[in-house]
Homo-oligomer: A and B are copies of this chain.
Amino acid sequence: MTTRTQTRDPAGRLALNQILQGDCIEIMRSLPEASVDLIFADPPYNLQLRGDLHRPDNSRVDAVDDHWDQFSGFAAYDAFTRDWLAAARRVLKPDGAIWVIGSYHNIFRVGTELQNQGYWMLNDVIWRKSNPMPNFRGKRLTNAHETMIWASRSEGSRYTFNYEALKSLNEGVQMRSDWVLPICTGGERLKDAAGDKAHPTQKPESLLHRVLIGTSNPGDVVLDPFFGTGTTGAVAKMLGRNFIGIEREEAYIQAAKRRLARIRPYDGMAIATTTSKRSEPRIPFGQLVERGMLRPGEELYSIGNRYTARVRADGSLIGNDVKGSIHQVGAALEGAPSCNGWTYWHYRREGKMVSIDALRQQIRAEMENRPN
């Protein structure tokens, strides 16, 4: 397979923010070594599905039976994993890191090979789906999570970890290794011309938001060797990171290009992450940003409409040179000892002012069903 897109610009430098079409192993081998800060990879899971599956109402489940997920067996899948992980390691900078997402079908083989190649595991992170598909036949547990492995290139790598930014996203409490986020549905889910899903396994932007905020910096180069419809590129562009996408399927590339063209990066102020210590409990305000309920850079208005502040990507606010939580910034602007930011701040939708507390109520309503 040939690469239709140039991997270098006219000056010989790595060409950024574009999609390279072709086999990711070949293309990564053609890229300059030690040129990438972070890799996010969503490789084929090697699902081994038997017959059709129907819901109790007799509707048929749309299975992931695409040709790119077919392997002849574990040996073939292991060889594939070995090759792409080795090629990926070569293009990583010495202090670079990688994320790989998978399910029980493939993640153990990926993790073993990561360790074999000298990657250094930092965490395994559980994406707990708030709305997974149930087990229709009642023969197993609801498969309600996927596993991500976060590993640095080597044991000694000084990897990027924005501890305070993640703590801020979690409203002042240390971020844990289990992340509760909804699957990608609704308006975020890309559709093809026929109205069907453009890609069978599109990941939610909230997941990539947290990954990139936590383990990369603005200006970094983020590589996704299984680009699909470009969630990694989309979030990277929003957050001021550079991306390189590699994808084989023409249809996915076209969908990704259309998607990326619509993305507008947040401005630098919104992307800057908190470095100060803070503390608060309960529903993290940052979840509103992660879930796309509020956009980084979006303006909030005080209860009397006298002050404004802007939302930042890590869930902190900035207004009149004051940075901090929704509560801290509100208190500072009012000259008050304290302030309930949830009732103090409002956002504008369709010309009307709405309290951000409405968004918190919305999340709480979702959580009611699945508190665990």
Within 8 A of B (CB), among A105-136: 105, 107-112, 114-118, 121-126, 128, 132, 134-135
Name the segment of A141-149, A191-199, A322-330 touching the other chain.
A141-149
**Given A170-B372, A282-B368, CB of A145 within 8 Å of CB of B118:** no
Q: Please give the count of copies of this chain that the complex contains.
A: 2
Residue ID in chain B nearest A109 by CB atoms:
B112
For residue A359, give the distance in angstroms from its CB to the closest CB of chain B: 15
Any B CB within 8 A of the CB of A320: no
Question: Chain B residues near A369 (CB, 8 Å)?
Answer: 282
Report whether A74 and B178 are in contact in the complex, using a CB–CB cutoff of 8 Å. Answer: no
Report whether A371 and B121 are in contact in the complex, using a CB–CB cutoff of 8 Å. Answer: no
**Given A163-B138, A364-B279, A372-B170, CB of A115 within 8 Å of CB of B147:** no
Question: Chain B residues near A150 (CB, 8 Å)?
Answer: 141
Any B CB within 8 A of the CB of A4: no
Residue ID in chain B nearest A181 by CB atoms:
B372
Any B CB within 8 A of the CB of A342: no
**Given A74-B116, A174-B138, CB of A180 within 8 Å of CB of B123:** no
A: contact size bracket: 35 or more
A-B contact pairs, 28 of them (CB 8 A): A71-B116, A104-B111, A105-B121, A107-B108, A108-B149, A109-B111, A109-B115, A111-B111, A111-B112, A112-B112, A123-B141, A126-B126, A126-B128, A132-B176, A138-B163, A138-B174, A140-B161, A141-B175, A141-B177, A142-B175, A170-B372, A173-B372, A178-B178, A179-B372, A278-B368, A282-B368, A282-B369, A367-B371
